[in-house]
Amino acid sequence: MSKQKKAKAPRGKLGRLEKKQERAGWAFVFPWFVGMMAFTFIPMCESFYYIWFKIKVRRGLEFKFIGTGNLTQIWLEDPDFLQNLVTYIWQTILEVPIIVVFALIIAMMLNSKIKARGFFRLIFFLPVIIVSGPVMNMLVSEGAASIPALNTQSVVNAFDTFLPTSVAQSIGTLFGNMIMVLWYSGVQILIFLSALQKIDPGLYEAAKIDGGSQWECFWKITLPTIKPMILINAIYTVIFLSSNEQNTLITMIKTAMFSATAERGYGYATAMAWIYALVVTLIVLLFFALLGSKKDIYDRMVKRRKRAMKKEARLVKKIERRSARNVKKLEKARKKRKYRTYDGSGDY
C-alpha cells in the first residue's frame, strides 16, 4: 500500500501593501530597540559586572575583584535591607489586589450612564499627574497621604493576635497609607475603562432576556472578558510600586551608591539592586501564575478536542501501518506458494 504525499501549498510573496505595513512596523519598533539597547540592556550588563567588584571613586573608577563579597555582606551584615525587603514583599502582595479591585469598581461606575462622566474621569485620573515628581514627596511630608483620625496601632494589635507580627505591621502600614495607595489607581482605572467599553452591549441584553441579574452578568460576561486586563493591571501595579520614589528600598540603594564609606559603593549598591530586581521578578511571576495560568473552559474544551483528534489520527496511522505489514506478509506468502488465493475467475 503506497502512501500518498500531501503537496504543500506554495507560499505567496507579500504584496506591496503588506511590505509597506511591515516596513512601517519595523520603523516604529526600531527607536524602541535602539533605546532598549542603549539605555537598558548595556547598563544592565555593566551593573551585573559591577556586582563582583569593590568600586572606589577617586580620579576614576578603581575596581577590586572580591567575587561574591558584596552579596555575602548584604545577607550577613545588613539586616535593615533584608527587613525592608520582607516588608516590601508583604506590602506589595497586599496593596496590589486592593488597587486593582478599587480600580475595577471605579471603572465600572464611570462606565455606567451617569451625568458628567468626563468630569469624574478627569478627577480620578488627575492624581496620576499630581503625585509624580517632588509634589508627592511634599504631600507625604505634610501628611496628606494618610488618614489622621485612623489609629493604625489598634489595627496592628487586632491583626497581631492571629497573624505574624510582620504581616500585621504591613497591614497597619497599608491602612495608614490608604489615600496614597488609592492615588496609584488612575492608570488602572483608564485601562479597565477602555476594556469595559469594548464589551458588546448585546451580550448583556441577551443575558437579561434569559433572566440574568447584574451580579450574574458581572461574573459570566464582564469578568471573563476583562481578565487579561486584570493581569496587565496587576503587573503594572507591581512595577509602579517597586519603582516609586516613596519606596524605602530605592532610597537605601541610592544612599549605598553614593556612600563615602569603604564598605559600600557602586558594587555594593548594584548587588542590592539585583537582589531587589530578582524579588520583583518573583512577585510578577507569582501574580502571573495566579491570574494568567488559568485557562477558560472553552479553551480547555478546544484543547481536549485537539488531543482527541491527534489520538484518533495516531490510531488511524497505526491501523494503516498494520494493514501494510499484513499485505506484505500475504505477498511474501503468495510468492512462496504457501497459500492459494482466489483470482476472480472461479478457479483457485
pLDDT digits over 43-86, tens only? 889 889 888 888 877 777 778 888 888 888 888 888 888 888 88
> How many structural domains is the chain composed of?
3
- The domain boundary residue, chosen from 178, 212, 244: 244
Please tell me whether residues 250 and 189 are part of one structural domain. Answer: no
Q: Is the pLDDT of residue 132 over 70?
A: no
* pLDDT band at residue 152 under the 50/70/90 scheme: low
Question: Does residue 203 belong to any structural domain of this protein?
Answer: yes
Number of Cβ within a 10 Å radius of residue 252:
18
Longest Cα–Cα distance in the chain: 111
Please tell me whether residues 220 and 263 are part of one structural domain. Answer: no
C-alpha cell at 240: 509602579
Q: Using alpha carbons only, how large is the chain's radius of gyration in Å?
A: 32
Please tell me whether residues 280 and 322 are part of one structural domain. Answer: no
Please tell me whether residues 277 and 130 are part of one structural domain. Answer: no
What pLDDT sits at residue 242? 87
Q: Which of 101, 96, 92, 98 is closest to 226 using CA atoms?
A: 101
- Compute the distance between CA of residue 103 and CA of residue 233 in angstroms, rounded to an integer: 9
Average pLDDT over residues 189-214: 86
What pLDDT sits at residue 164? 67
Which comes out higher in pLDDT, residue 206 or 158? Answer: 206
Average pLDDT over residues 273-283: 92
Question: Does residue 7 belong to any structural domain of this protein?
Answer: no
Please tell me whether residues 56 and 139 are part of one structural domain. Answer: no
Question: Does residue 34 belong to any structural domain of this protein?
Answer: no
Please tell me whether residues 99 and 238 are part of one structural domain. Answer: yes
Please tell me whether residues 189 and 273 are part of one structural domain. Answer: no
Number of Cβ within a 10 Å radius of residue 261:
8
- Compute the distance between CA of residue 246 and CA of residue 140 in angstroms, rounded to an integer: 9
- Which range among 97-101, 130-134, 284-288 shows the weakest confidence by mean pLDDT? 130-134
- Amino acid letter, 80: D
- Compute the distance between CA of residue 37 and CA of residue 25 in angstroms, rounded to an integer: 18
- Compute the distance between CA of residue 331 and CA of residue 337 in angstroms, rounded to an integer: 10
- Compute the distance between CA of residue 124 and CA of residue 126 in angstroms, rounded to an integer: 6
- Amino acid letter, 226: I
* CATH code (residue 96): 1.10.3720.10
Answering whether pTM is above 0.75, one says no
- Compute the distance between CA of residue 6 and CA of residue 22 in angstroms, rounded to an integer: 31
Please tell me whether residues 240 and 130 are part of one structural domain. Answer: yes
Please tell me whether residues 232 and 109 are part of one structural domain. Answer: yes
Query: For 44, phi and psi rounded to 5 degrees?
Result: -65, -40
Question: Does residue 29 belong to any structural domain of this protein?
Answer: no
Average pLDDT over residues 309-329: 88
Neighbour-count burial of 195, counting CB atoms closer than 10 A to its CB (0-12 exposed, 13-18 middle, 19+ buried): buried
Please tell me whether residues 72 and 140 are part of one structural domain. Answer: no
Average pLDDT over residues 40-45: 88
What pLDDT sits at residue 283? 93
Residue identified by cell 548587588 is 271
* pLDDT band at residue 276 under the 50/70/90 scheme: very high
Domain region containing 116: 79-244
What pLDDT sits at residue 278? 93
Question: Does residue 150 belong to any structural domain of this protein?
Answer: yes
The DSSP call for residue 59 is S
